[in-house]
Amino acid sequence: MTLHTGRHFLQIPGPTNVPDRILRAIDRPTIDHRGPEFQELGASVLAGIRRIFQTESPVIIYPASGTGAWEAALVNCLSSGDRVLMAETGHFASLWHKMAQRLGLKVEFIPGDWRRGVDPAAVAERLAKDKAHTIKAVCCVHNETSTGVTSRIAEVRKAMDAERHPALLMVDTISSLGSIEYRHDAWGVDVTVGGSQKGLMLPPGLSFNAISKKALAAAEKGGMARSFWDWSDMLGPNEKGFFPYTPATNLLYGLQEAIAMLEEEGLENVFARHARHGEATRQAVQSWGLEVLCQDEREYSDALTAVVLPDGHDADAFRAAVLEAFDMSLGSGLGKLQGRVFRIGHLGSFNDLMLMGTLAGVEMGLSLAGVPHQRGGAQRAMDYLASTSGNSAAEP
């Protein structure tokens, strides 16, 4: 094992690097979660997180990983035996699909090749056939973290509206919230699922459900047997800034700081920064002569890039070489992509020089691991960053 100095490069697509400001915010004494000081914190984060989801509706905050918030979305609104439409965009869509099946939902999975997002036309086509409105929800992963593909949620909504279909729209934004444009209200989403450990720059441990009025009405009328995930238990105490059980107080301090940082930069600037870093990364990959997994330019993810290795080369061996030589963690290929792709995370608390360090590490690693490529990808990204440097907001 090489002894490493300096900071580790955590360039997986989440958990992301936690900025010092957030670490300091978390590093405080835990307070009485039923006292007035907590109430101020609770009210502040519950109001602030709505602005990040771009919604006027309530957002539930769970002390759970994103998987918990997936379950919460399903069990509050749907009953066992309900029909649900999902799209096979990658590993995370497949996991959500498996969960829905385990919960007794009848899931139709629109097949996919893990290189494209949800096809709005395929959703429309399926809904058009459902004259009796037996499909109760359409569930999409906005940014498929396993593939680096961002689905066009506003277009899925339009397709549903064009069919005048009443199904709820549920969207997973675990790796897009706070990095790629997302509008819960404007896009007519009923339940948005989010997580703390990616664009929000926090450690893992919090997850979210943003809820529309229609979703709330569905939950009041039905849903499955549930207890911990029940929205109704949360909403009353949340109105006063409290939680029905012990909240993750110190992560909430971190969340308050994360919201402040995102708002100081401005959400539009946050999205533009990610778009610029996504573009620089793709230009580097193209220069190396390697393939970006995502096949539709409209769906390139600005949060991460999944890179396909040439046949006969193992992406995990490449990642291991990079970790050993340069102390940088890159994302692995998940599910059926294991060994075939590696993923470069460029989301969260990130800037031009962090991206250049990352891309330099990838380029050196390709040489070290004997992966055939052309040199100069990092240079191309640097040229792109230099030519667009006025376009990025200053890092807070």
Binding positions for substrate are 343
Min separation Cβ 33 and ligand PLP, Å: 23
Q: Rounded to an integer, what distance in angstroms lies between the CA atom of residue 358 and that of residue 331?
A: 12
Partners of residue 170 on adjacent β-strands: 139, 191
Neighbours of 278 (CB within 10 A): 24
Work out which of 141, 258, 308, 362 binds ligand PLP, going by CB under 6 A.
141
Residue with smaller CB distance to ligand PLP, 252 or 360: 252
Query: Contact 191/211 with Cβ under 8 angstroms?
Result: yes
Residue with smaller CB distance to ligand PLP, 161 or 296: 296
Give CA 107 to chain center in angstroms: 22
Sign of CA dihedral 10, 286, 149, 50: positive
Work out which of 84, 135, 156, 174 binds ligand PLP, going by CB under 6 A.
174
**x/- map, 59-88, ligand PLP, by CB under 6 A:** ------xxx---------------------
Q: Helix 267-288 and helix 352-368: axis angle, to 10°?
A: 20
Residue entry with tokens 């890159």: 330
Q: Is 345 in the site for ligand PLP (CB under 6 A)?
A: no
Helix spans in the chain (H): 20-26, 36-53, 66-77, 91-102, 120-129, 153-162, 213-221, 231-239, 249-265, 267-288, 315-326, 352-368, 377-387
Residue with smaller CB distance to ligand PLP, 39 or 329: 329
Q: Is 150 in the site for ligand PLP (CB under 6 A)?
A: no
Min separation Cβ 15 and ligand PLP, Å: 9
Q: Rounded to an integer, what distance in angstroms lies between the CA atom of residue 173 and that of residue 156?
A: 15
Q: What is the DSSP letter of 91?
A: H
Residue nearest to ligand PLP (CB): 66
Q: Is 14 in the site for ligand PLP (CB under 6 A)?
A: yes
Stretch of residues binding ligand PLP (CB under 6 A), selected from 171-179, 221-229, 345-353, 361-369 = 171-179
Min separation Cβ 47 and ligand PLP, Å: 24
**Which stretch of DSSP H or E encloses residue 150?**
strand 149-150
Residue with smaller CB distance to ligand PLP, 145 or 287: 145
Min separation Cβ 175 and ligand PLP, Å: 4
Min separation Cβ 153 and ligand PLP, Å: 13
Q: Is 112 in the site for ligand PLP (CB under 6 A)?
A: no
**x/- map, 188-217, ligand PLP, by CB under 6 A:** -------x--------x-------------
The set of residues, in sequence order, having a beta carbon less than 8 Å from that of 173 and lying 6+ positions away, is 53, 142, 143, 182, 192, 193, 194
Helix spans in 87-212 (H): 91-102, 120-129, 153-162
Min separation Cβ 197 and ligand PLP, Å: 6
**Which stretch of DSSP H or E encloses residue 84?**
strand 83-87
Q: Rounded to an integer, what distance in angstroms lies between the CA atom of residue 238 and that of residue 120?
A: 35
Q: Which residues are annotated as a binding site?
A: 343
Residue count at the site for ligand PLP (CB under 6 A)? Answer: 12
Q: Is 19 in the site for ligand PLP (CB under 6 A)?
A: no
Residue with smaller CB distance to ligand PLP, 14 or 58: 14
Q: Where does this chain bind ligand PLP (CB under 6 A)? A: 14, 65-67, 92, 141, 145, 172, 174-175, 195, 204
